[in-house]
């Protein structure tokens, strides 16, 4: 019986009962779908936004491809007034009407047979569309991006430029000498710039003394190398040239033993240019120097052997500058000049033992390896 009652019980409907229609008031409807009113930008806001776009280093213009913005299709989308403004800023070469003219200083400019150039119209109608794809135009656009990213259009940069301009006009400031600026920005290279000097330079001492023995220790100078010396003496109207052979290197101190041609001779005897040369003949007047480590000492030895330049004529007169005293300038030239007067010549690996080929070639088949000034920059 219970089963019949359960089976015969009517089921409950699962439908959602219909709701009576609800009427929303006008105030509720408007409050639910309210649209925010955006006030138009004022001229000041537009100016600030444009200034930030063209002057701020974080501008979006620094992160885009110039060709995506500066192209002929976008140019045509502008209003005629905007097109005329931009066309006025383009160079004459951007128009079909451009014709090269003769400079006023040219001799044929005054000739009556040379026709005068006609008026060259520069307008939107005569604009050459390839201007926007020209490598010169795109290069200028990327340069603008670089300057914008570097902050050169910012307020601070403009203030610094104005301050510098006023200082130069009034004599309070001057442009920093390029060598001084390099040393200030690259202090780690100062030692390599004034190698071989322990003098006080720009308030700092060179951390180590690097000379020719340092080059020999690091393999930048080797036995058999030729040091080709050349220096001009304008006051004497004389050029001294001599080839010096590195005959030996002391394995303990790495000082050099060199052979110098006699008198005013430039080149070494042919027998000295080959690898493993024989001992000097008794009648050979080739001079030798031992324990050489300073290029200035070697230079004095070469000039003493040459005999045409006295000790007093070997020093250059200092040229005063507004950036350094005469003494500082003279010391700087004295430190650097000898390193630049010597060029190193060396055999390639396959030529070192090719004696027959060495006999037939200049410098014994050696090739230019670099100046001492260049090689010392590789010392670490």
pLDDT digits (tens, 9 = 90+) for 72-121: 999 999 999 999 999 999 988 899 888 877 777 777 666 555 455 555 67
Residue 248 in contact with residue 223, Cβ under 8 Å? Answer: yes
3-state secondary structure of 107: helix
Copy the structure tokens of residue 376.
Answer: 């010392």
pLDDT value of position 11: 62
Confidence (pLDDT) at 205: 35
* pLDDT confidence of residue 112: 52
Kindly give the parts of the chain with pLDDT less than 70.
1-43, 108-120, 174-176, 186-208, 281-283, 316-334, 380
Separation between Cα atoms, residue 363 and residue 272, nearest integer Å: 10
Give the per-residue pLDDT at 166. Answer: 87
Report d(CA 310, CA 304) in Å as an integer. 8
Query: Residue 259's pLDDT is what?
Result: 93
Degrees, nearest 5: CA angle 340-341-347: 95
8 A C-beta contact, residue 316 and residue 337: yes
CB 245 within 8 A of CB 226: yes
pLDDT at residue 6, rounded to an integer: 52
Full strand arrangement of the beta sheet holding 342-346: 287-292, 256-260, 238-249, 226-233, 342-346, 367-371
pLDDT at 202: 40
pTM of the entire structure? 0.46
Q: Which residues in 71-92 are b (16+ Cβ under 10 Å) and which e?
A: eeeebeeeeeeebeeebeeeee
* The predicted structure's pLDDT at residue 139: 92
Alpha-carbon distance of 76 to 364, in angstroms, equals: 70
Q: Give the per-residue pLDDT at 237.
A: 92
Q: Where are the domains of the chain?
A: 48-98+120-173, 212-376
Per-residue pLDDT, 182: 72
pLDDT at res. 252: 92
């Amino acid at each position: 019986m219970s089963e019949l009652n359960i089976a015969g019980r009517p089921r409950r409907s699962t439908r959602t009962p219909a709701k009576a229609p609800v009427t929303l008031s006008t105030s509720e409807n408007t409050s639910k779908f309210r649209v925010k009113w955006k006030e138009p930008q004022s001229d000041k806001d537009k100016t600030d936004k444009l200034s930030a776009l063209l002057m701020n280093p974080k501008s979006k213009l620094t992160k885009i491809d110039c060709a995506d913005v500066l192209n002929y299709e976008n140019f045509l989308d502008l209003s005629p007034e905007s097109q005329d403004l931009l066309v006025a800023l383009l160079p004459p070469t951007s128009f079909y009407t451009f014709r090269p003219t003769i400079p006023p200083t040219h001799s044929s400019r005054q000739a009556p047979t040379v026709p005068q150039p006609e008026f060259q119209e520069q307008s939107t109608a005569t604009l050459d569309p390839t201007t926007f794809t020209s490598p010169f135009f795109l290069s200028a656009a990327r340069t603008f991006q670089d300057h914008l990213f570097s902050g050169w259009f910012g307020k601070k940069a403009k203030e610094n430029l104005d301050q510098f301009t006023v200082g130069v006009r009034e004599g309070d400031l001057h442009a920093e000498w390029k060598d001084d600026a390099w040393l200030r920005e690259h202090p780690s290279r100062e030692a390599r710039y004034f190698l071989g000097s322990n003098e006080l330079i720009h308030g700092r001492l060179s951390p180590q003394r690097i000379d020719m023995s340092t080059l020999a220790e690091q393999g930048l100078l080797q036995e058999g190398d030729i040091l080709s010396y050349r220096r001009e003496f304008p006051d004497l109207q004389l050029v001294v040239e001599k080839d010096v052979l590195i005959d030996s290197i002391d394995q303990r101190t790495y000082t050099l033993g060199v052979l110098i041609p006699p008198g005013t001779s430039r080149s070494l005897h042919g027998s000295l240019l080959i690898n493993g040369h024989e001992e000097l003949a008794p009648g050979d007047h080739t001079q030798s120097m031992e324990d050489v480590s300073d290029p200035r000492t070697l230079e004095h030895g070469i000039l003493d052997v040459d005999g045409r330049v006295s000790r007093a004529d070997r020093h250059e007169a200092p040229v005063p500058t507004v950036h350094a005293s005469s003494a500082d300038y003279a010391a700087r030239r004295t430190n650097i000049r000898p390193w630049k007067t010597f060029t190193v010549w060396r055999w390639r690996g396959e030529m070192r033992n090719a004696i027959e080929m060495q006999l037939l070639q200049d410098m014994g088949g050696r090739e230019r390896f670099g100046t001492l000034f260049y090689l010392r920059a590789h010392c670490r």
